[in-house]
Amino acid sequence: MIAFDHLLDQFLSLFLHPPCPLCGRSAKTVICPHCERQLHECQLAHPHLQGKDQVPLLVWGSYSGLLKRAIAQLKYEKQWQLAQPLGERLAQTWLQASLFPRSRHPIVIPIPLHPQRQQQRGYNQATLIARYFCQVTGFPLQPNGLQRIKATDPLFPLSLQQRAQQMSHAFSIGKQLKLHQPVILLDDIYTTGTTIKAAQQTLQRAGITVIAVCAIAKS
């Protein structure tokens, strides 16, 4: 009976696939071929950008079109499975980039949410993306390398000066972080770089070097 059930499951899997979280079509992988093509159109031709304070910035795509929708679905609609294709695409871009040294064995730290925000959402989307990024690159993940100790207001309606004030002393070093390893900071969206800069400064004050910043999209 067990063998028959297994064969039945295999047979049904040929015809029944989970719906694409972006359009509802049947999809053999997380995203259907139709949405794969649309997502590909959001990819940046030149992903290497100059980051704040001379830290290299690697961004996979433009915060527009289906990529913008995919990030929103991941963040607000509990479509956790979308972290896989996003994280894997970012990782593949990293591995193809000759800009970054691969011999330094960095650890990856996702930008954390404040505990209240994470409790409301149920998860940190940057951490989910980072897990798949690390699976492809082989870099170790330190999901609690940074802690967000300051509850901040949404930054998008604020000026650059107001953003900087909001993010001042917003982070602290996680207790389990090893201080001798270089770090890659990872977030879902890179806008003005205010959040990343605040996280980077927190690490630098502890003597930790940030060698690169990675993000799925730049707005």
Question: Do 3 and 65 fall into the same domain?
Answer: no
109 three-state secondary structure: strand
67 and 22 share one domain? no
What is the CA angle 109-83-213, rounded to 5?
A: 35
pLDDT surpasses 50 at 13: no
* Domain containing residue 66: 42-218
- Rounded to 10 degrees, the C-alpha dihedral 216/154/173/215 comes to 10
Q: Which helix (H) or strand (E) holds 58?
A: strand 56-62
Distance, CA of 147 to CA of 40 (rounded, Å): 33
Which carries the bigger pLDDT value, residue 185 or residue 150?
185
User: Which helix or strand (DSSP H or E) is residue 89 part of?
Assistant: helix 83-96
Same domain assignment for residues 33 and 95: no
Same domain? For 155 and 125 the reply is: yes
**Residue pair 50/25 in contact by the 8 Å Cβ criterion:** no
Per-residue pLDDT at 195 exceeds 70? yes
Residue 185 pLDDT > 60, yes or no? yes
Tell me which of 48-52, 56-60, 122-126, 208-212 is least confident.
48-52
Percentage of residues in the chain having pLDDT higher than 70: 82
Strands 210-218 and 56-62: parallel
Task: Indicate whether 86 and 179 sit together in one domain.
Answer: yes
Give the predicted TM-score (pTM) of the model: 0.86
**Average per-residue pLDDT in the chain?**
86
Q: Which residue has the tokens 């593949």?
A: 92
Same domain, 212 and 118: yes
Do 12 and 1 lie in one domain? The reply is: yes
Task: Return the CATH number at 89.
Answer: 3.40.50
- Number of folded domains that form the chain: 2
Q: How far apart are CA 53 and CA 66, in angstroms?
A: 31
Q: Which of 123-132, 144-153, 160-169 has the lowest mean pLDDT?
A: 160-169
Q: Are 61 and 43 in contact (CB under 8 A)?
A: yes
Amino acid 93 reads T
Of 109, 108, 184, 198, give the one whose Cα is nearest residue 149.
198
